[in-house]
A and B are shown apart, each in its own frame.
Chain A
Amino acid sequence: MPFDEMLDADNRPRGPYSEYMSWYGEQDHARLLTKSRDAEAIFRKTGITFAVYGKEEAAERIIPFDIVPRVISGREWRKLAQGIEQRVAALNAFLDDIYHKQEIIRAGRVPRHLIERNEAFLPEMIGMRPPGGVYTHIIGTDIVRTGQDEFYVLEDNARTPSGVSYMLENRETMMQMFPELFHRVRVRPVENYPMLLRQSLEASAPPGCADKPRVAVLTPGIYNSAYYEHAFLADQMGVELVEGPDLRVIGGRVAMRTTQGYKPIDVLYRRVDDDFLDPLTFRPESALGVAGIMDVYRAGNITIANAPGTGIADDKAIYSYMPEIVEFYTGRKPLLENVPTYRCSEPDTLKYVLDNLADLVVKEVHGSGGYGMLVGPTASKKEITAFAAKLKSRPGNYIAQPTLSLSTVPILVKKGVAPRHVDLRPFVLVAPNRIQIIPGGLTRVALKAGSLVVNSSQGGGTKDTWVLED
């Protein structure tokens, strides 16, 4: 039986959920179902949509929203937050090291070949220390829970993590629909995230810039799947939302074309991948980036958030070394555990993985979004055989993990509520000398009974995530 966060073995509400459950007991189920439909209408009206790749052009969907909140106690949160902070600090130290002296490789704690053959290692970043020394200004750490005190880090999203707009809109929607609930339960606020993000980005501005750094969000444009979020964040922060063709190198800086001519930008929160960031440096055909921005960056005249090349830190092959990485840079044992990870590149391990495919989750080292992965326990024999062939042909391309029994939280269904598996992505802001973790995050939930795949592209939904004041 997976661990249910709301109900214990005797079907009694656990501590953090007691107040919510007493409220829930007073509700008329039909009314809740109506509210649930209202929520969907709000999302559609607001335009909180994402585009699905590979479907019809510009097919816009909304991510299903479940109105039962996911509740985390203050005590649980503090423990999580400490662990995340330690990990994020280590990731930044790792990035600084890997693009400079590479002490961790010299010390033999991370094998050289992992970096050497890694596409995510960006030579253009060698010797480059970003303003304020911050590489990952925004991180979304994916966490899963398997028991009362058992939390594991599943992934460190250190490139351009998305989903924070859902955290904010989910809360907004819940507060609109159930204001009385927020009188009864004291939930820590998340709404100040955009302000904190802006302050955090401003604090990382290049040293030479004016008193009030100018921040902008760089989006690939309205056809990007996360465009809504880009516009939302720019709007909430009160900064410009720019696209590649708006920008140009002028006066040694990156400047945006306004109705009154070009104005320089100090901090660019880019939601464009490294490859597309600078056609003069990376993919020459990219129209999404700014030619010459890497030159301006190396000259120290702009902050790019997150820094290019941070992908080397959240690479799935590096992931298995995170315990060593945390210990190497912080001098302490990691507070948060890694999911045990089998590196298929090692022949003995590969054999074990092939023998136990039915019990394992196998992921592509460079994949994301739940594509190209095998969930052994729910896969058919045929799928397993096909995957084994792929694995054998390119073992270095895969890692495997035991199937974790992810915790469940109930969702609203036609008749009452029913448990579904969840994960959690808290959002972390890194400024020079300061790491902040917003109390809450994005809870993703697999809507199909028994399913462990929570990705929105694969039929997952989201929940509001409450961290209690206690």
Chain B
Amino acid sequence: MMLGRTANGLFWMFRYIERAENTARLIDAGVRMSLTGTQGSDDEWTSVLKSAGVEANFLQQYENVTGPDAIDFMLRDERNPSSVLSVINSARSNARMVRTALTREAWESTNECWIDLTSRLARRVKDADLPSVLDLIKQRTGLIRGAFHGTMLRNEIFNFSRIGTFIERADNTARILDVKYYLLLPAVTYVGSSLDNVQWVSILRSVSAHRSYGWVYESDLNPTNIADFLILNGRMPRSLAYCHEKITNNLGYLETEYSSRHNAHDTALEILETLRNRDIRAIIDGGLHQFLEDFIRRNSRLGQEIAEAYRFY
């Protein structure tokens, strides 16, 4: 038996941890892009802010986009509820709230992550320290995941946490793709240009997939394969298909455990159908942007339906 509030707390705790990690990756990719210096780096930071879903909020605080401001805003600005510092605070508050549902290891790794990151992010991060801070974020959130996987029972607690993780992750991957979808369209003039190559690597880097891409496709970068990898590839842990396989599985466990099925189960299945046994070319022909927008909207509606079904509020 579990409180609805606890399910909600777990869901959000893991969404926030996932978000912290994703934001660190986005910043990492942004820094790489700005180092290559092939185009206006401010444009690049604008698209990073867009991918993180914080551009509008940023522009309320700043007149124009610069790398250092964007990084600071995404790392530690308290006015940004999605900054790493904000989400780590929120994740830890949620973890405290659901303390009784966590193993000691899972709680302590979250608490230590918070202790470390709040101290490292107490002041603006110097350029030279940025790589180590980004590493620390990935490391600390990785440790939480490790402690969680290593010690938690595979029960409803696990299911709600996983659902939170994958709803967030799917949202994140879809946003990254949506901001840069035009780069993945087969526009004849640019194909194979070095500029495109840099952009494509950047997309892959922002989901930590620049190495694994090569293992899977054994070919040069090409936009169709990249889209296929991030949307449909069931083995790529940040792809939309993978995330939704996991969500559907975890919802399935809940259905069995509680012997009850909700709207959310149908919605999840519907979304999964749009990702299963599909050809990426068909998706691109049908309009990639439209597809991604639909996905983001449905993914978020699924989150709300889960909240209703399991009495989060």
Contacts and interface: CB of A to CB of B under 8 A. Distances in A.
Interface stretch (B1-9, B20-28, B241-249): B1-9
A260 B309 CA distance: 9
Contacts of B2: 258-259
A257 interface: yes
Contacts of A240: 1, 3, 100
A81 to B, nearest CB: 31
A234 B98 CA distance: 11
B311 A257 contact: yes
Contact of A235 (B93, B100, B112, B260): B100
Contacts of B111: 45-47
A245 B107 contact: no
A256 B100 contact: no
Interface string B249-263: 000001000101000
Nearest to A245: B5
Given A46-B108, A257-B311, A260-B258, A241 B99 contact: yes
**Chain B CB within 10 Å, residue with most, of A234, A241, A246, A256:** A241
A234 B101 CA distance: 10
B138 interface: no
B156 interface: yes
Nearest to B311: A257
A349 B126 CA distance: 66
Interface string A221-262: 110000100010011000011110110000000001111110
A26 B7 CA distance: 51
A263 interface: yes
B112 A257 contact: no
Given A246-B4, A258-B2, A231 B156 contact: no
B3 A242 contact: yes
A258 B313 CA distance: 10
Contact of B4 (A231, A234, A235, A257): A257
A197 to B, nearest CB: 15
B59 interface: no
Given A45-B112, A47-B96, A243 B5 contact: yes
A44 interface: yes
Contacts of B112: 45
A235 B4 CA distance: 17
Nearest to B258: A260
A261 B2 CA distance: 10
A256 B93 CA distance: 21
Contacts of A256: 3
Contact of A259 (B7, B97, B107): B7
B93 A259 contact: no
B216 interface: no
Nearest to B97: A222
Contacts of B310: 259
B198 interface: no
Contacts, number: 61
A47 B110 CA distance: 10
Interface residues of A, number: 23
Q: Is the interface of B mostly helix, strand, loop or mixed?
A: helix
A234 B7 CA distance: 17
Contacts of B7: 259
B100 A241 contact: yes
A246 B112 CA distance: 29
Contact of B3 (A44, A221, A246): A246
A263 B3 CA distance: 9
Contacts of B104: 46
Contacts of B160: 259
B262 to A, nearest CB: 11
Given A44-B115, A234-B100, A240-B100, A257 B5 contact: yes
Contact of B107 (A47, A227, A263): A47
A259 B156 contact: yes
A154 to B, nearest CB: 32
A222 B115 CA distance: 17
B108 A260 contact: no
Given A45-B112, A46-B108, A47-B111, A258 B1 contact: yes
A68 to B, nearest CB: 26
Contacts of A227: 96
A16 to B, nearest CB: 33
Contacts of A261: 311
A218 B152 CA distance: 25
Contacts of A242: 3
A247 to B, nearest CB: 10
Interface in A13-51: 44-47
A245 B6 CA distance: 12
Contacts of B156: 259
Contact of B5 (A46, A47, A246): A246
Contacts of B311: 257-259, 261
Nearest to A262: B311
Contacts of A246: 3-5
Nearest to B109: A45
Contacts of B108: 45-47
Given A45-B108, A45-B111, A235-B100, 10 more contacts: A45-B112, A47-B99, A242-B3, A245-B5, A246-B3, A246-B4, A258-B1, A258-B3, A258-B311, A259-B156
17 contacts: A45-B108, A45-B115, A47-B107, A222-B97, A231-B96, A234-B100, A240-B100, A241-B100, A257-B3, A257-B4, A258-B1, A258-B3, A258-B311, A259-B3, A260-B258, A260-B260, A261-B311
Return the 10 tightest CB-CB contacts between A and B, nearest first. Answer: A231-B99, A259-B310, A235-B100, A222-B96, A257-B4, A47-B111, A241-B100, A234-B100, A259-B7, A259-B2
Interface of B: 1-5, 7, 93, 96-97, 99-100, 104, 107-108, 111-112, 115, 156, 160, 254, 258, 260, 310-311
Interface of A: 44-47, 221-222, 227, 231, 234-235, 240-243, 245-246, 256-261, 263
